[in-house]
Amino acid sequence: MLITEVNIRKMKMMMKTPFSTSFGTFQHKDFLLLEVTDELGNTGWGESTAFHSPWYTEETFETNLHMIRDFLIPLILDQEITHPNEVNTLFAPLRKNNMAKAAVEGAIWDLYAKRNKLTLAEALGGTAEKIEVGISIGIQKSTEQLIDVVQRFIEEGYKRIKVKIKPGHDVEVIRSLREAFPTIPLMADANSAYTLDDIDLLKQLDEYNLMMIEQPLASDDIIDHAKLQKAIKTPICLDESITSFEDARKAIELGSTQIINVKIGRVGGLTESKKIHDYCMEKGIPVWCGGMLEAGIGRAHNIALTSLPNFTLPGDTASSSRYWEEDVITPEVVAVDGFITVPTEYGIGYEPNLEVMDRYTVEQIHFKA
Ligand code: OSB
Ligand code: MG
């Protein structure tokens, strides 16, 4: 297929409720939507998942725009691509900037699937008809409020509850939650807020039967995580530290992680995500699909990826309505009793809702071969 056109939309959407983590609070999301067109008029959609500030990783939506506009589009425009697996190789001379690369690569995967009359899930080799999802809950004003929020999401059927922790907001919070909900599948995400000096505190979490603790230590570390894992029983799940297949291989080899959170953007695309998935499956390491507070296009990509067989733990891909007043796809993503049905239409399986999209589009930039 020949890529003949690319359209970038700069988007801004307000979150229904602010989302707080150890590194900051999200009130809105600035992001990019990409539409690629081939010589036959097929189209594919991608979403850049970077945030407005470099809190989670070094990328931002502005650095993504710069990379996509000035470096990545020139590499794919007027370019013959046989399979989306080739995009990784085309982008390899450019270092990092994984979320920018993933947005473009994702659009090409969608285009490829549509052109070949496949669902994106099928194109990736996924087989699940429905996927199990959990929910990630931001830091709340009080523990009472957190318990109310957890109660509400359990009633909605989410299959596991993830709560954010940070220094001063950890063991006591988890203790209260466990007391209120003795048997729910529960986990904590620290977003790199601790160091090995906190080892005694992190050990205390072993009492509360957590499924895992996500990214307790530095965002670029795999050495200290291996030391920490030797000292605690709770399985460590790496998020920020895994930016490639090579990171995953090394972290598993060192014993730094027992579970991996795969985010398509963080690892640079669907091809790399699948490579990590396959390797983890071989090594007996379960994976789950993380979230970046995506709008519908990104959410659809997550669902397709999660249909692969080693996504055995519930991911963070919740209903569109958990984040947005209205989403940019039709139908919106809906989790029923903690399950999302993998769509059966070709490509990402959801229609872009241009009317809604236009309402939140700040600017469009068009490229033609
Ligand atoms: O660490 O997974 C994370 C949100 C923003 C930044 C980082 C993370 C998160 C989440 C929410 O946990 C994921 C989602 O619901 O999309
Ligand atoms: Mg995380």
Tens-place pLDDT, residues 138-151? 999 999 999 999 99
Ligand 1: residue whose CA is nearest its atom 6:
292
Please identify, by atom number, the ligand 1 atom nearest to the C-alpha of residue 191.
1
Ligand 1: distance of its center to the CA of 162 in Å?
A: 10
Q: What secondary structure letter does DSSP report for 360? A: T
Which among 15, 17, 52, 56 is the best mutation to test ligand 1's pocket, defined by most ligand atoms within 8 Å of the CB? 56
Among 191, 306, 340, name the best residue to mutate to test ligand 1's pocket (greatest count of ligand atoms within 8 A of Cβ).
Answer: 191
- C-alpha of residue 272 to centroid of ligand 2, in Å: 18
Closest-lying ligand 1 atom to the alpha carbon of residue 263:
2
Pairing of strands 3-21, 339-341: unpaired
pLDDT band with cut points at 50, 70 and 90 for residue 7: very high
The partner residues of 251 in beta bridges, in order of sequence, read none
Number of H helices, E strands in the chain: 14, 15
Q: What's the pLDDT score for residue 196?
A: 98
Q: Look up residue 366 and give its two tokens.
A: 């068009």
Q: Quick one: pLDDT band at residue 256, thresholds 50, 70, 90?
A: very high
**Best residue for ligand 1 mutational test, from 16, 17, 19, 135 (most atoms within 8 Å of Cβ):** 19
From first CA to last CA, the distance across the chain in angstroms is: 13
Residue 325: per-residue pLDDT: 98
Q: Whose CA is nearest to atom 1 of ligand 1?
A: 191
Q: Within 187-244, where are the H helices? A: 199-204, 223-231
Q: DSSP string spanning 65-86?
A: HHHIIIIIHHHHTT-B-S-THH
Confidence of residue 368 (pLDDT cuts 50, 70, 90): very high
Q: Which ligand is nearest to the CA of 47?
A: 1
CA distances from 258 to 164, 213, 277 (A): 19, 10, 13
Q: Which of 138, 149, 146, 134 is nearest to 24 (CA)?
A: 138
Contact in structure between 347 and 43 (CB atoms under 8 Å)? no
Ligand with minimal distance to 162 CA: 1
C-alpha distances in angstroms, 176 versus 142, 145, 303?
11, 12, 32
Which atom of ligand 1 lies closest to the CA of 135? 15
Q: What is the pLDDT of residue 6?
A: 98
Query: 71 is written with which tokens?
Result: 């470096």
Percent of the chain residues past pLDDT 90, beyond the cut: 99
CB of 279 closer than 8 Å to CB of 293: no
Q: Which ligand is nearest to the CA of 239?
A: 2
> Pocket of ligand 1, candidates 189, 266, 303, 317: which has the most ligand atoms within 8 Å of its Cβ, to mutate?
189
> Distance between CA atoms of 352 and 333, rounded to whole angstroms?
12
Q: How confident is the model at residue 106 (pLDDT cuts 50, 70, 90)?
A: very high
Helix axes 223-231, 245-254, angle to 10 degrees: 40
Q: Which atom of ligand 1 is nearest to the CA of 214?
A: 1
Write the residue with the smallest CA distance to atom 14 of ligand 1.
Answer: 291
Distance 328 CA to ligand 2 centre (A): 24
pLDDT for the residue 279: 98
Asked if 297 and 8 touch (Cβ cutoff 8 Å), the reply is: no
Q: 300 falls in which pLDDT band (50, 70, 90)?
A: very high
Cα–Cα distances in angstroms (integers) from residue 101 to residues 2, 46, 90, 95, 263, in the given order: 18, 10, 10, 10, 13
Predicted local confidence at residue 241, as pLDDT: 98
**Which ligand is nearest to the Cα of residue 19, counting in written order?**
1
Give per-residue pLDDT as tens, 156-202: 999 999 999 999 999 999 999 999 999 999 999 999 999 999 999 99
Taking residue 139's Cβ as centre, other Cβ atoms within 10 Å add up to: 17
Give the orientation angle of helix 270-283 with respect to helix 245-254, to 10 degrees. Answer: 20
Q: Given this model, what pLDDT does residue 322 score?
A: 97
Query: Residue 367 Cα, ligand 1 centroid: separation in angstroms?
Result: 32
Rounded to the nearest whole angstrom, what is the distance from the C-alpha of residue 241 to the centroid of ligand 1? 14
Q: What does pLDDT average to over the chain?
A: 98
The ligand 1 site (C-beta within 6 Å) comprises 21, 56, 136, 189, 191, 239, 290-293, 316, 318
Helices (H), 92-244: 98-115, 120-124, 143-156, 171-180, 199-204, 223-231
CA of 138 to the centre of ligand 1 (A): 8
Q: What's the 214 CA to ligand 2 centre distance in angstroms? A: 6
Please report the atom of ligand 1 found closest to the CA of residue 294: 16
Write down the pLDDT at residue 16: 96
The set of catalytic residues is 164, 263
C-alpha 172/C-alpha 49 separation (Å) is 32
Classify 209 in phi/psi space as left (phi over 0), alpha (psi -120 to 50) or beta.
Answer: left
* Helix 171-180 × helix 143-156 angle, to 10°: 50
Mean pLDDT along residues 280-290: 98
Q: Which class for 366: exposed (0-12), middle (13-18), buried (19 or more C-beta within 10 A)?
A: exposed
Give me the domains of the chain, ranges plus CATH numbers.
Answer: 3-118+351-368 (3.30.390.10), 122-341 (3.20.20.120)
Per-residue pLDDT averaged across 58-77, rounded? Answer: 98
* Distance from the Cα of residue 225 to its chain's centroid: 21
pLDDT-above-70 percentage for the chain: 100
